[in-house]
Structures are given as structure tokens and as C-alpha cells.
Amino acid sequence: MSAPTAAARRFLPSSVFGRNLLTVLVALVAVVLVLELTSPFRNSQLATMSYYAIAAVGLTVLTGLNGQISLGHGALMAVGAYTTGLLLENEAMPFPVAMLAAMVVTAVAGIVVGAAAARLHGPYLAGATLALAVGVPGIAIYFDGLLGGEQGLRISSPTPPDWFADAMYFLTAGEMTSARYLAYIGWGTLLLVVLLLANLIAGRYGRIWRAVRDDEIAAELAGVRLGRMRVLAFVVSAACAGLAGAVLAMVVRLAAPSGFTIVLSLALLTAVVVGGLGSLGGALLGSALLVFLPPAVTDIGTDLGMSGVQAAQLAPFVYGVVLVVVMLAAPGGVMGIVRRLRHAGRRARGRGGPSRPAAGKQGVGATDQGGRG
């Protein structure tokens, strides 16, 4: 570590929570700058990214830290979205209350799913959650009186209150559009979720989850209650998915079965795998990919002379190919590559920390993250 960085370190807060809080505050400033400086179209893209990212950070905690795969997060997002839709009908309550309620309802659903999932591993768990993802949209169609059937529920998204618009105008002299306001809601929620999760995984629970993932028998011998910890991981993850669903409902203004297909769940999985399983930063990176890659790929497709329908299918095609390629070539994802380069660089200089084996065993289970988000 060179002298200037060491000096700078002294001014940083020493607690993990302090450091995470500082990072999130810096990110908040960056978010305000980006949202104010970009067009309404980019604002709505960023709003989309925020709900993907909320779900992805939850999923990365479950899959990366606790080793449980879930293909049911799309379905859990549906639970959150429909709850929000029902609660916001006729502006019955302020939207933060509806979001909290959506989170709680989805967390309760997560207890039920998690209790069943805690006994399963690997392919069994994947199959069971796949059944969840394929089955849950059927509920919306069955109760079409309440949930709107195939057409879905229309959702009145909140309008920016005057005090918020005034405050932001005072700060940035920018007009508060509806898209921008929704992006603020999404990113505010996301930063809060990331702050809470970063603390959670840096602390006792993160350690226990990693222990369960790496060697469940050793963890059990050390006094960890496996079942309880697995259910807890699932509930935390489901709560994130519920919040993501709530943001989705407000941004898209619609909750319909066609929005929560298996492709949504697999897109979330792609995001966390590409970024690097278990890393919050990786999940953010992956969800940026989910938002900004499809338009780019679709453009390439239309340039190559494909019809609109064909070009629209290029994005899922790329998701699938990327999943396979990442798993074969770099199971640690982008964050795994970054970590490996950093270790290699440190060893080449011949000083710094103790030399660790570069990548350990090349598995999903081995990608570890100190918990700094």
C-alpha cells in the first residue's frame, strides 16, 4: 500500500458500517447528478435498472453467499408488484406504505418457499423454484376478478409531491418529471437495500451463510442451525424481490402475468452470474447489462436485416449464451476476473499482502467476497 492511500485511509471511518454509509452517500450524490443530467428516456432506463438491481442484490446474497439457487425470483417480484398494485388502487395509501407492505407480503411468501427450499440443494432446488416461476402467473389468471387476468392490473404510479420537486429544483435547478421521480424512488430504495445488505453480509449472518455454503457439516458442528439460516437467507432475498416488484409496478404502471415469465427469473440469474456471484457490486453491474444490452443488441439485429420480432429475441439469446460462456470460461464473473487480476498484480510487484492462491477452486461456491459491497 503506497503512502498517500495510507494517509487517505486515516480519514475514512473505521467501522464497516461507517465505510458502507460513506460509499452509499457518495453513490447518492452520483445518482442525483446522473439523473439530473440525463434525458427522460435515460431516466426511465435507469428506473428499470433500479428494480432489476434490487432483485439482483437479493438474489446474489442467496445464491452467491448461501449457495442456494432460485429461479423463482421473478415470481416473488410478481407477488410484490401485485401487492403494490392492489394497495395503490384509488390512491388508498401513500406509496412508501404500499412498498413496505409489498416487502412484508413477499417476505412471508419467502418463508413458505424458503422452508421448503431449505431441505433442497442444487438441481432439486432449481427444479422446485422453476416450478414456482412457471406456476405463479397462473394465480393471476385464476383470480382474474381481483388480479385482472391476462390483462393485468393497471397501477397509478405516484406523482412527485411539491415539496420534493421544490427541494430538488433548489438543489439542482432541474425540472422534476414523472420518470425522474420514479427513478429517484427506485435508486433511493436500491441504495438503502445495498447499505443494509452490505452490513448484513459483512457481519455475523454473512459469515454464517458463507460457512453453510462452503461446508454444511462443519457449520452444523460449529452450532449453526442450517435450516433456520437457509430460510433466513431466503426471506432476506425474497424481501428484496418484493421491493423490486413494488418499484417495477410503479415504473411500468402495470402488473401482468406476461411480465413475470421464466425469462425474467433467468435474466436476474444472468445478472448475478455475470457480475460475479456473491458480490453486490457485481449484481449492480449485471443489472446495468440487463437494461443497456438489449437495445444495443436489438439495434445490431435490425441492422443485420432481422424483423422486429426476431431482433427482440436476440437479447434472451445473448443472456443464454453469456450464462454458458461465463460459467465455462470465468465462473467468478467480472468481479472474479477483477479479483484475480488484482492478486496477480500484487504478486508481480512482490510485496503487499500474503500471496494467496490466485483463484482457489474455480467454482461458484468458491467466489468469496469480503463483504465490502
Partner 1 sequence: MQQFLNVTLGGLSQGAIYAAFALALVLIWRATRIINFAQGSMAMFSTYIALVLIESGQSYWAGFAAALLAGLVLGALIERVVIRPVEGGPELNAVIVTLGLFVAIQALAAILFGASFESFPAPFGLSGFSVGEFTVAFTPFSAFVIGSVVVVMLALVALFRFTDIGLRMRASAFNQEVARLLGVRVGNMLTLGWAFAAVVGSLAGLLIAGGNLVHPAYMDPVIVYGFVAAVLGGLESPAGAVVGGLLIGLALSYVSGYLGSELVTLAALGILVAVLLVRPHGLFSRTTARRV
The footprint of partner 1 (CB under 8 A) covers 63, 67, 69, 71, 116, 119-124, 126-128, 130-132, 134-136, 138-139, 141-142, 217, 261-263, 266, 269-270, 273, 306, 309-310, 313-317, 319-324, 327-328, 331, 362-366
- Least separation in angstroms between residue 323's CB and partner 1 is 3
Angle at 126 between CA 81 and CA 131, to 5 degrees: 55
- Shortest distance, position 362 Cβ to partner 1, whole Å: 8
- Whole-number Å distance between alpha carbons of 35 and 184: 8
**Residue 195, all three cell numbers:** 447499505
| Closest distance to partner 1 from the beta carbon of 213 (Å) | 10
Q: Which helix (H) or strand (E) holds 154?
A: strand 153-154
Measure CA 3 to chain center.
Answer: 36
Closer Cβ to partner 1, 87 or 109, answer by number:
109
Q: How far apart are CA 48 and CA 274, in angstroms?
A: 18
- Look-up of cell digits 460462456: 325
Residue 80 in 3-state DSSP? Answer: helix
**Residue 254 vs 273, nearer CB to partner 1:** 273
**Which of 65, 247 has the CB closer to partner 1?**
65
- DSSP letter at 65 equals I
Identify any residues that bridge with 153 across adjacent strands, giving them in sequence order.
255
- Taking Cα atoms as reference points, which of 143, 85, 135 lies closest to residue 113? 135
Q: How far is the CB of 285 from partner 1 (least distance, A)?
A: 17
Nearer to partner 1, 87 or 334 (CB): 334
In our burial notation (b when 16+ CB lie closer than 10 A, e otherwise), range 209-234 reads bbbbbeebeebeeeebebeebbbbbb
Q: How far is the CB of 133 from partner 1 (least distance, A)?
A: 9
Q: From CA 309, how far away is CA 290, in angstroms rounded? A: 18
Nearer to partner 1, 134 or 224 (CB): 134
Query: Which grid cell is 344?
Result: 496477480
- Cβ closest to partner 1, residue 165 vs residue 323: 323
Closest distance to partner 1 from the beta carbon of 192 (Å): 29
Q: Closest by alpha carbon to 83, among 242, 197, 290?
A: 242
Comparison of 80 and 294: residue with beta carbon closer to partner 1:
294
Closest separation in Å from C-beta 286 to partner 1: 13
Residue 240 beta carbon to partner 1: minimum distance, rounded to whole angstroms: 20
Task: Give the residue with the Cβ less far from partner 1, 61 or 243.
Answer: 61
Tell me phi and psi for residue 153, to 5 degrees: -95, 130
